[in-house]
Amino acid sequence: MSYKSFYSTVFILCFMSFVYAYGDSNILENPGFEKGREGWFSRTCAVRVVSSPVHSGNGSLKVFERKQTWQGAKQSLFDKLVEGKPYKVSAWVKLDNASNDFVAISVEKQDDSGINYINLAGTTATDTGWTQLSGEFTLDVTGVLTVLDIYFEGPKPGVIFYIDDVQVYGPEVETAESIPGRPEAAGQIDVKTRHQKIEGLGASTAFYTPDLVNHEKKNELYNLLFKDLGLDILRIHNYYDINPQNFDETVEIIKSGQAALGRDMKIMISSWSPPVYLKSNSKISGGTLKKNNGKFAYDEFAQWWHKSLVALKKEGINVEYLNIQNETDYPAPWNSCVFEATETADQTLAGYDKAFETVWQKLNTEMGTDMPKMLAPETSSLGHSERYIKNLDSLSHVYGYAHHLYNCSFCGEFPDRFIPSMNLFNELVSQYGSKPKFQTEFEVEPVTWTGAMSTALLIHNSMTVEEVAAYLYWDLYWNPDSGLISINDPVSYTINSSYYTFKQYSAFIDSDWQRVDASTDNTSLRISAYISPDNRKITAVIINTSDDVEISVDLSIKGIYITKGEIYRSSQKENCVLAGNYNGKGLLKMPKSSVTTLLLFTGGD
């Protein structure tokens, strides 16, 4: 037997032995990258499937443009592992631009115990051949599981590496048999049962401001982004003393957007990072507040905020809502600044509690009742919020609770996965007093119809389960393949699918409306409804989640008389089109995989 044949036989025998011990299923999606990037995502770097080098098959994953050791590639294991059962993990790795360096396989798990990073295997890889990593993992969950990702990390920043033939062997999760949607349904709206008051729907113009203001078709874009969407809230980046050009461009976008709307918008401002002269690392990314004589510069931070608002006021911009720090819990490699809930014992991180209170006191002293409504804590996820909220000095200084919806494995693609976290968040914040809730940043894949449907479902769940007062999409516009509208180049743009499902809400629900009770007996339908302050208009948004069944809905409306109405619809073939009229009588047709908005006019009683 040859050397090569001997080791091939040993590998096959070893492979068979752990398949026997751990099960015969590799639960990963696209483990050999034969389907491109399907199932795989980056951890804040760049990833690309290449045809060479490969360990086997036709593809491997190249991981590059890494600025931190933890940056690499990941895949979600959410709902794929059986708790308490062992899984065998292995992969092959190879370096590109370094002769040797450390590469590791790890798991990120987030549940009620917090964030846990679990190393499964590590080895020294080389650029001369493929090296195998192998280890084991057993899932143990405390409370609600929100994130479970397997990921690759380890080499020094700048080192490029390749991944191939990744295996996670073990028992498959039993899935419940899906129940086909019924072709008929009963629905009900009861305007006498009222829920949260709506602050508005909106989106962000935090980055790529020159792409919009310098675009050849910017007037068309302003109409599409502001007038046609009917935006209530625009979230902006505080560029004061950071980038004067971006500051001026932001002012221009606000004014042009309001001109297109024919009315003012509510402006929400967030700091991604204070100026570098206030940073501990003298950089716009990472770090925390600097120290003066051993004390964090809270007063200077508050002064910067006051000067920022004064500068905007001189431009005619009034700020409605203020977040002192975007994603205060996340040390992002882009504009960022980290605050812990309170100052860390080793004095390495500034305290959010002191920063918030110092800013509030400064603005209250200088501006009085004209100061913005301050939101807290605008963390990257629901689960990270409570430790910041409970440590604030005075909750009476907090107008509302703000958060994003990241750190939840594939929850964007499967919005119902957010429901346990939303219910838990409601329970947690209820002990701190009733305040409006703001979802201020999230994006689902905007260019596909699947992503557009997920956007609609996520807004529905946020409105009806968490009962948010405001929902803000992340990027109002962005570069190609992202944003509600993608700015492709200085002369062209693309309206993405999520634009239309977002519009099914934003164009028909306004600030100061109120959500009213709405329900249906068909599990394939989701319905929510909203009424204007004068009781003259009702908007109902109905989502047919079924990919196979058109549903006829017999809708009854209690507590008010409908005089007339209009039907607007988005589907794979329709882009928020006027699809007919409705006077409150007769069956409503809900095409498969569609979002329908009813704009109803009442007698006002």
Say whether 562 sits in a helix, a strand or coil: strand
Question: Which residues, including other chains, have CB under 8 Å from residue 431's CB and lie 6 or more apart?
Answer: none
The DSSP letter of residue 276 is G
Residue range 213-247, pLDDT digits in tens: 999 999 999 999 999 999 999 999 999 999 999 99
The token pair that represents 204 in the structure block: 């962000």
Residue 10 — pLDDT band, cuts 50, 70, 90? Answer: very low
For 335-370, the three-class secondary structure string (H helix, E strand, C coil) is ECCCEECCCCCCCCCEEHHHHHHHHHHHHHHHHHHH
Query: Could you read off the pLDDT of 135-164 as tens digits, one per residue?
Result: 999 999 998 888 899 999 999 999 999 999
pLDDT for the residue 127: 96
pLDDT, position 180? 67
The per-residue pLDDT for 15 is 39
List of E strands, 198-320: 200-204, 233-237, 266-270, 291-292, 295-296
- The per-residue b/e assignment along 192-219, b for 16 or more CB within 10 angstroms, e otherwise, is eeebbebbbbbbbbbbbbebbbebeebe
pLDDT in tens, 392-440: 999 999 999 999 999 887 788 889 989 988 998 999 899 888 899 999 9
The predicted-structure confidence for 263-321, as pLDDT tens digits, reads as follows: 999 999 999 999 999 999 999 999 999 999 999 999 999 999 999 999 999 999 999 99
CB-based contacts of 238: which residues, under 8 Å, 6+ apart?
269, 270, 271, 272, 305, 308
pLDDT of residue 604: 65
pLDDT of residue 2: 42
| Nearest by Cα to 499 from 435, 429, 578, 575 | 575
What's the whole-number mean pLDDT along residues 511-527?
97
Q: What percent of the chain has pLDDT over 90?
A: 84
pLDDT given at position 24: 67
The amino acid present at 252, given as its one-letter code, is E
pLDDT band at 176, cuts 50/70/90?
A: low
- What is the H or E stretch that residue 273 is in? none
**Cα 207 to Cα 478: distance, rounded to the nearest angstrom:** 8
249 vs 21, residue with greater confidence: 249
Is residue 18 over pLDDT 50?
no
* DSSP string computed for 190-231: EEEEEEEEP-EEEEE--S-HHHHHT-TTHHHHHIIIIIITT-
Which of 305, 201, 218 is CA-nearest to residue 493?
218
pLDDT at 38: 87
In the chain, the domains with their CATH numbers are: 3-169 (2.60.120.260), 184-190+518-602 (2.60.40.1180), 199-511 (3.20.20.80)
pLDDT exceeds cutoff 50 at 13: no
- DSSP letters for 128-176: SS-EEEEEEEE----S---EEEEEEE-SPTT--EEEEEEEEESPPPPPP
Predicted pLDDT of residue 603: 78
Residue 4 has pLDDT above 60, yes or no: no
Q: What is the DSSP letter of 575?
A: S
Where do runs of H (alpha helix) occur along 462-597? 497-506
Mean pLDDT of 356-379: 98
Tell me how far apart the alpha carbons of residues 404 and 380 are, in angstroms, rounded to a whole number: 5
Q: Which tens digit of pLDDT belongs to each residue from 494-511?
A: 999 999 999 999 999 999
